[in-house]
Structure 1
Amino acid sequence: MKQYTKLALFLFGIVISGSALAQSLSGIWQQIDDKSGSPKAIIEIRQEDNGTYTGKIIKITPRPGYTPQKTCNNCPAPYTNQPILGMDILKGLKPLTGTTSYERGRIIDPLAGKVYDAKIKVNATGKRLTLRAYMGISTLGRSQTWIRQD
């Protein structure tokens, strides 16, 4: 009987760890600048009805000696001259089944006016994510760390 109990506990543990992998990307995240290491913005990521994820800038973090840009200058449509605060900068991320990774997204850098392919990997605790933005192939991109705030 003890063997069945141990087996049941083992299987329960697998189910629990599997649900940790399926942890939602939804929430509030602090974007960290990959060049300076300083906080850049607060992003709210939400799941859309179609199962993809979208990220919106809900706060721009003030940095010493930096005047925040207010609008998305030199940005392609539909972002042209839109306010950066409140802008959906991350769109279309799809979860990869059985992992903590999300792919096939697009992200805009509203300061440079460029749109990149994006993928995300959430760490095992769900407290940090690494966003990889790239053009064409991932090895030619840059990564940022975001920290969960909620």
Structure 2
Amino acid sequence: MKYAFVLLLSLTSFFNVLQVSAQEKDITGTWKTIDDKTGIVKSHVEIYKKGNKYYGKVVKILDPDAPAKPLCENCDGDLKDAPIIGLEILKNFEKEDDEYEDGTILDPENGKTYKAKLWLDEEDENKLNVRGYILFLYRTQTWERL
């Protein structure tokens, strides 16, 4: 009986560790976007889950020179002159192992949408790699969790 209790306690602790590890690998939350060319923090993006897919919207612009209510001036269609605050820039990402794939990212500065994938840094789960690409050309930014 004593051994059964110790085994049960060990299994409970093991499953709690697994649950915490799974939660830490989640990309939901708010992230600081950092320009890969200048190193400047540009905005805060909230990543959230709807159904089985992940999305992200701009919740704050940090550029002191930005207008009070910045608009997506270079966007096309329904997004033309849409407010950037609240704009969904990450869409339709699906979790595949340790990566989030098959989604798109909108660059509000140029109004273009790119195929993209996301993954947490292997050494620091508070860093998110965000890669937008066209064919074999790509650009990767590292965002930091708030």
Question: What TM-score do you get using the length of structure 2 for normalisation?
Answer: 0.81
| Aligned CA distance change for structure 1 residues 18 and 132 (closer, same or farther; 3 Å) | farther
Q: What residue identity is the alignment partner of 1:24?
A: D
Any stretches of 5+ residues in structure 1 without a counterpart?
Answer: none
Confirm or deny: 8 A CA contact 1:54 1:91 kept in the other structure: yes
Q: What residue identity is the alignment partner of 2:143?
A: W
Q: 3-state SS of the aligned residue for 2:79? A: coil
**What is the correspondence of 1:1-150 to structure 2 with a 5 Å cutoff?**
13=14, 16-17=17-18, 20-21=21-22, 23-48=25-50, 50-63=51-64, 67-68=65-66, 70-96=70-96, 99-124=97-122, 125-137=124-136, 140-149=137-146
RMSD across aligned positions (CA): 2.6
Indicate the percent of aligned positions where both proteins have the same amino acid.
Answer: 32
Deviation at 1:80, TM superposition (A): 1.2
Q: What residue identity is the alignment partner of 1:116?
A: Y
Distance 2:78 2:126 in 1: 32
Q: 3-state SS of the aligned residue for 1:78? A: helix
Higher strand share: 2
Confirm or deny: 8 A CA contact 1:100 1:123 kept in the other structure: no
- Offset from partner CA, 1:67-125 (integer Å, 9 cap, x none): 326111221223111011111111111101xx321001111101111100110011244
User: Alignment length, in residue pairs?
Assistant: 140
Confirm or deny: 8 A CA contact 1:21 1:100 kept in the other structure: no
Deviation at 1:11, TM superposition (A): 10
| Aligned CA distance change for structure 1 residues 18 and 134 (closer, same or farther; 3 Å) | farther
Q: What residue identity is the alignment partner of 2:142?
A: T
Any stretches of 5+ residues in structure 2 without a counterpart?
Answer: none
Q: What residue identity is the alignment partner of 1:30?
A: K
Distance 2:140 2:125 in 1: 17
Distance 1:78 1:127 in 2: 34
Distance 1:141 1:14 in 2: 39
Distance 2:83 2:143 in 1: 22
